[in-house]
A and B are shown apart, each in its own frame.
Chain A
Amino acid sequence: KAGVTQTPRYLIKTRGQQVTLSCSPISGHRSVSWYQQTPGQGLQFLFEYFSETQRNKGNFPGRFSGRQFSNSRSEMNVSTLELGDSALYLCASSLEGRGYETQYFGPGTRLLVL
């Protein structure tokens, strides 16, 4: 069974640009959550999508948005990039979004904003 895949794995952008990251969950999983990992803050929850609907949202500005498609694949978009957005962005998938023991993470997309 293929794991969670994220593309691209690495990305370099400049301030003011926008970026779209993609996450393909494990086959059959309907919940996708996104996290931002920075050295000082650890992992911070961005949002969760289930069956194409945003079910939960973290404390991030509106520049961070996401969506989920009918095949459960999810995209995350960050507009007007800031230097502080440089981070590892992780997505995680699970069957129903409940039970963190069965939530599987992808390898992440490392974003560098210059």
Chain B
Amino acid sequence: DQQVKQNSPSLSVQEGRISILNCDYTNSMFDYFLWYKKYPAEGPTFLISISSIKDKNEDGRFTVFLNKSAKHLSLHIVPSQPGDSAVYFCAASALQGAQKLVFGQGTRLTINP
């Protein structure tokens, strides 16, 4: 039972354009969401998070949007840079992070020059 789903295994975007990565969840108890970035041979690194009390959170080039009614979140990267090429995981937790993290399958983002 995949409670967090990233339906696009891969995404290719031109440098300078916007990258949009999507994530859907099924568990209505989830109220805390995070995005991680993972390079090959390295562990995931935290990118940005959002609580269910907000619908948007921004950090530099990265913005996460949360649509609670649709149980959908997205990560926008603007402008996309070659160094953004990585696998991106979304993750969710209940009780504002007190419960274990549930991850999606990941989306491989490739930024083309």
Contacts and interface: CB of A to CB of B under 8 A. Distances in A.
Interface in B2-19: 2, 4, 6
A105 B87 CA distance: 15
B41 interface: yes
B103 A44 contact: yes
A43 interface: yes
Contact of B43 (A42, A99, A106): A106
Q: Chain A, interface size: which category?
A: 20 to 34
B34 A100 contact: yes
A30 to B, nearest CB: 17
Contact of B42 (A43, A102, A107): A107
Contact of A45 (B32, B34, B44, B101): B101
A87 B81 CA distance: 30
A100 B43 contact: no
Q: Chain B, interface size: which category?
A: 20 to 34
A81 interface: no
B105 A41 contact: yes
Given A100-B34, A100-B93, A101-B49, A45 B43 contact: no
Nearest to B34: A100
Contact of A101 (B34, B41, B44, B100): B34
A105 B104 contact: no
Contacts of B41: 107
Nearest to B98: A98
Contacts of A45: 100-103
Interface in A8-35: 35
A77 interface: no
B97 A105 contact: no
Contact of A105 (B4, B44, B93, B98): B44
Interface of B: 2, 4, 6, 32, 34, 41-46, 49, 89, 91, 93, 97-98, 100-106
